Structure 1
Amino acid sequence: MANTATDELVRTQHGPVLILRLNRPDARNALTGSLLNAIGSAVNEAEADPDTRVVVLTATGDRAFCAGMDLRAFADGDSIGLDSEDGLGYQRLCEGTLSIPVVGAVNGSAVGGGLELLLGCDVVVSSSAAKFALPEVSRGLFPAGGGTSLGTRIPLGAALELTLTGDAITAERARELGLVNAVVDPEQVLESALRYAERIAANAPLGLAACKELVRLAVTAPDRVADRLGHWQSTVFGSADAREGAVAFVEKRAPVWQGR
């Protein structure tokens, strides 16, 4: 695996999987403007890199995946800057609109903006020790970074309970609600997430992009599904990868995807 790093974000390339690790353990991996932009830059580059098929998002330490916005930095005038290219990349990650699949590896608790960041992940593996909360109302705020869309991921009543009380739930409760896909021992989180990522990365990139967009739209904007379904049908079924999938099946070999 090849590593590149800033002080706040570590990138590790693991074959077709890019691992992004939030690296502010002393601040519970809270989000600063510079970290947010580093994440946005990394996912923009991952989308543009044909050799990267899946992103895994995790963090340093075992106490916290991400504690949300760094309130100390914010109070000191830290700027988020969501209107920049990197900021827009981060925003698309949180909205789940990146074309590349994202697997969350939740090494510790995800609170506020940390939980909002996870809503952009397509598959989530959690440590059994993690907790999840949107406590903004207890601080005079509300979860404006995507947390109010929690009801697209879990039942409406549960989403209202979490956002209105600010109370935390356990990893097992998060799995029962469908917020996370799997709960494992803390030391197995990244390994389990990588197994998901490798299974996803073995599939055709165009088909993955189509599934990701259409499945999410069916929940968030069902009126757009028919139009986008037509687009993806012509794009995917007429692609070189569609032909390769059929030929590989007949020849009983693993397909070699080109992403076109």
Structure 2
Amino acid sequence: MAEVVTTRREGAIFEVTLDRPKANAIDAKTSRLMGETFKAFRDDPELRVAILKTAGDEFFCAGWDLTAAAAGEPANADFGVGGFGGLQGLRDLNKPVIACINGMTVGGGFELALSCDLIYASDHSSFALPEIRAGQLADAASVKLPKRIPFHIALDLLYTGRWMTAAEAHRWGLVNEVLPREKLEDRVWEIGGLLASGPPLVFAAIKETVRVAEPLSYQDALNRVNRRQLATVDILYGSEDRLEGARAFAEKRAPVWRGR
């Protein structure tokens, strides 16, 4: 039997592939495995960026495995250290994660994509939150989606469960780029390489600042940054990399980031 979650490591890039035919739906066991996988990525200082993709062309991810639900798996099952899909609740994941979407992205699969920092999609991909039709709440999407796209469009998707094409998702700024499927992975790896060559301490500071600032006023968030009250910002401001960036600029050369 093929492995449900496989990984590929190339330099500082870590690719995670979910492969659960035919819809890449996620049960609790798979979610726990994904959480441990992303936790290992988070804790490995040699890895700087992750790519999340799934196998097949029809589904990126159909969300929660309804077969498991029908067999008695509760909606509040133990989904592991990272929450559903391994990403939604993984604390202190201060590294970039790119979603490589090819196919239908449904319910919890849509919410999994929303847990990533960048989203690239093939032109035949589509998105939907059909929970409303089953009398269920798309909980993570109800929190995240109105903050990512115009409020009334988010509510339209949540209230109706309708399908949104990749082109529409791009128009609302939900997807970074839409590409032909044969060009998608090359483009995602190109972006992954760009990020992997960048300053890891700055990426960490960006992610923590964005996360902490979300519920705060502008001034409160800025005060925390300026007072070095965020761990990643404090590390960055006292780092060798910060000095290296200044020296490289003055010497008109490419910086060498060491993550310290």
TM normalised by structure 2 equals: 0.89
How far apart are residue 217 of structure 1 and its match? Answer: 4.4
Are the aligned partners of 2:107 and 2:128 in contact in 1 as well (CA < 8 Å)?
yes
Report the residue type matching 2:116 in the other structure.
C
After the TM superposition, which of the residue ranges 138-147 and 180-189 deviates more from structure 2? 138-147
Deviations 1:221-247 (A, max 9, x none): 233623541325543222111012222
Change (3 A) 1:228 1:200: farther
2:88 alignment partner in structure 1: 91
Deviations 1:31-59 (A, max 9, x none): 11121111111111111111100010110
* Gap regions ≥5 residues in structure 2: none
> SS of the residue aligned with 1:25?
coil
Match of 2:194 among 169, 191, 199: 199
Q: Measure the CA separation in 2 of the matches of 1:130 and 1:111.
A: 10
Are the aligned partners of 1:116 and 1:147 in contact in 2 as well (CA < 8 Å)?
no
Does 2:2 match 1:9?
Answer: no
* Gap regions ≥5 residues in structure 1: none
After the TM superposition, which of the residue ranges 186-195 and 244-253 deviates more from structure 2? 244-253
Match of 1:101 among 86, 96, 101: 96
Does 2:216 match 1:222?
Answer: yes
Are the aligned partners of 2:62 and 2:108 in contact in 1 as well (CA < 8 Å)?
yes
Deviations 1:183-208 (A, max 9, x none): 00012221111111111111111101
Q: Percent identity?
A: 37
> SS of the residue aligned with 1:19?
strand
Report the residue type matching 1:174 in the other structure.
A
Give the 5 Å matches for 1:62-81.
Answer: 62-78=57-73, 80-81=77-78
Q: Measure the CA separation in 2 of the matches of 1:227 and 1:104.
A: 32
Report the residue type matching 1:43 in the other structure.
F
Are the aligned partners of 1:19 and 1:55 in contact in 2 as well (CA < 8 Å)?
yes
2:204 alignment partner in structure 1: 209
> SS of the residue aligned with 1:40?
helix
Does 2:171 match 1:171?
Answer: no
Report the residue type matching 2:56 in the other structure.
G
Q: Measure the CA separation in 2 of the matches of 1:119 and 1:193.
A: 16
Q: Measure the CA separation in 2 of the matches of 1:16 and 1:118.
A: 21
Q: Measure the CA separation in 2 of the matches of 1:121 and 1:185.
A: 21
Q: RMSD of aligned C-alpha atoms?
A: 2.2
How far apart are residue 117 of structure 1 and its match? Answer: 0.4
How far apart are residue 214 of structure 1 and its match? Answer: 2.2
Are the aligned partners of 1:92 and 1:98 in contact in 2 as well (CA < 8 Å)?
no
1:186 alignment partner in structure 2: 181
1:160 alignment partner in structure 2: 155
Does 2:103 match 1:130?
Answer: no
Q: Measure the CA separation in 2 of the matches of 1:6 and 1:257.
A: 38
Q: Measure the CA separation in 2 of the matches of 1:35 and 1:101.
A: 22
Q: Tell me the number of residue pairs that the alignment of Structure 1 and Structure 2 aligns.
A: 251
Report the residue type matching 1:181 in the other structure.
N
Are the aligned partners of 2:81 and 2:89 in contact in 1 as well (CA < 8 Å)?
no
Q: Measure the CA separation in 2 of the matches of 1:183 and 1:25.
A: 24
Report the residue type matching 1:15 in the other structure.
G
Deviations 1:110-164 (A, max 9, x none): 1100000011111110010001011101011010244432111111111100000
1:248 alignment partner in structure 2: 248
Deviations 1:49-76 (A, max 9, x none): 1110001011001111100101111221
How far apart are residue 98 of structure 1 and its match? Answer: 2.0
How far apart are residue 250 of structure 1 and its match? Answer: 3.3
Q: Measure the CA separation in 1 of the matches of 2:189 and 2:257.
A: 20
Match of 1:21 among 17, 20, 23: 17
